[in-house]
Amino acid sequence: MATPVNLPPVHNKLAKHAVFPHFDHDETARYNFLTNLNKHLSTVISPGNKIAFEQRVKPKFKAENGREIETRDELEVAMLNDPHFQTWSALRRSTMEMRQQAGRATVLRQAEELAQKVATLNAQKPDSLILNDTVQVPHYMTLFDSHIMPGSYHTEQFPGDVSNAASYDSGLFVTSAGMLGKYTDGGGKALTTWLKATYPNFNPKRILDMGCGLGHNTLPLATAFPDAEVIGIDTGVPMLRYGHARAVALGIENVKFMQLDATQTGFENEAFDWIQTTMFLHETSTHAMQRLVAEIYRMLRPNGLSLHIEQPQYTPEMSMFEQYIRDWDALYNNEPFWGAMHDVDVRQWMMSAGFEEKNLLQFGAKAENDMEYPRNPNAQEVEDHGRSPIWNVFGAWKK
């Protein structure tokens, strides 16, 4: 008998804010198919990679080389010859390509309509969207399309275009198999829930979300702390336009979106009580990360907090096989900085900027999911390494 698994929710159950793209029947069916395929790959096919490694790849390597596999690079070469891994990896790559193609086709047919909706909403609160055409997209972000999204976060097909942001907003559901909630904001919600429970007296008045993208994890911060001024910064103009319109449509008043480079923001010293990133650091270069942490320390007020949500770091306690499987996105999904970022000793990284070891924080978090769908109590949840919203959160207080 097959092991029962929980099926993902359906795409049409996502909350439809005013700038969410419209999906017809066939477009919804494509997204639902790809979501279920992602779920199948992670829960049924992916565990076979470990079996292939243990029973075929590892013994074969030792027989041919007279020793065990010693590095991730050696493991990568060895796994590439295994038919099970080849099948899983090819299907995983194909689901991402198909998801990008399906989302792009959906938003491009309504691109002008979406741009007009966004412009109309943004005109209602012009002072809280601040764009600056002197700010350049970092060169390393222009060299490739992040996670195979054509044009990445910054490209627009015509002035005012937000099609990439709309595709990203709707497509996160597919990549995460519906585990981020109705507004794909489960990361921000999980963090604010933890913070309020753990530090109930912390009441930030000014919050900065760096690399905010379309703001889906920025808005929960503004909702949780309605008396705070929340600022989301990014260099991707389509994301900022769309994110701001999304906030206006949802009636969230205490948030501002600004076009700024996170490594040189121009904010004054000690300007913020809380500085946050969510799945952003793995998309920055190693050099940029070093400058970014120094900028965070400079901007943080005494008794202020810095937190960063990422996939788990690669530690000596994590097996080489798990590190390799988690590195799939770096190797095959246009995430070239993924592996280097997850190899970093984040404690040393924070201390290098001036944070004291005694004030460092590290904990686990899982996305809050408010999607309603049937659950099988006998089903086992299998983590899709590198994709599951099961995160490592690290940071520090500035004392």
User: In one letter, which amino acid is 171?
Assistant: G
What CA–CA distance (Å, rounded) separates 130 from 67? 58
Q: What percent of the chain has pLDDT over 90?
A: 83
Give yes or no for residue 385 having a pLDDT over 80: no
Q: What percent of the chain has pLDDT over 70?
A: 96
Structure confidence at residue 163 (pLDDT): 97
Domain containing 191 equals 1-399
Do 188 and 278 form a contact (C-beta atoms < 8 A)? Answer: yes
Q: How far is CA 272 from the centre of its chain?
A: 23
Do 218 and 243 form a contact (C-beta atoms < 8 A)? Answer: yes
pLDDT in tens, 261-276: 999 999 999 999 999 9
Give yes or no for residue 87 having a pLDDT over 90: yes
Of 140-149, 157-166, 255-264, 320-329, minimum mean pLDDT range: 140-149
Residues forming beta bridges with residue 395, ordered by sequence position: 307, 361
| Token representation of residue 25 | 């029947």
Do 300 and 388 form a contact (C-beta atoms < 8 A)? Answer: no
Q: Which contiguous run of DSSP H or E holds residue 277?
A: strand 272-278
Q: What's the chain's average pLDDT?
A: 93
Structure confidence at residue 388 (pLDDT): 66
Do 191 and 365 form a contact (C-beta atoms < 8 A)? Answer: yes
CA distances from 34 to 46, 153, 174, 322 (A): 16, 22, 6, 25
CA distances from 368 to 58, 188, 249, 352 (A): 38, 9, 22, 32
Mean pLDDT of 50-79: 97
Residue 258 in 3-state DSSP? strand
Do 371 and 9 form a contact (C-beta atoms < 8 A)? Answer: yes
| Token representation of residue 200 | 């109930």
Structure confidence at residue 381 (pLDDT): 67
Mean pLDDT of 215-238: 97
pLDDT band with cut points at 50, 70 and 90 for residue 373: confident
Give yes or no for residue 214 having a pLDDT over 60: yes
Compare 137 and 373 and report the one with higher pLDDT.
137
CATH of the domain at 393: 3.40.50.150
Domain count along the chain? 1
Of 17-26, 177-186, 241-250, minimum mean pLDDT range: 177-186
CA distances from 131 to 120, 210, 233, 262, 375 (A): 16, 15, 10, 14, 44
Structure confidence at residue 41 (pLDDT): 92
pLDDT in tens, 93-142: 999 999 999 999 999 999 999 999 999 999 999 999 999 999 999 998 89
Give yes or no for residue 1 having a pLDDT over 60: no
Residue 279 exposed, middle or buried by CB count within 10 Å (0-12, 13-18, 19+): middle
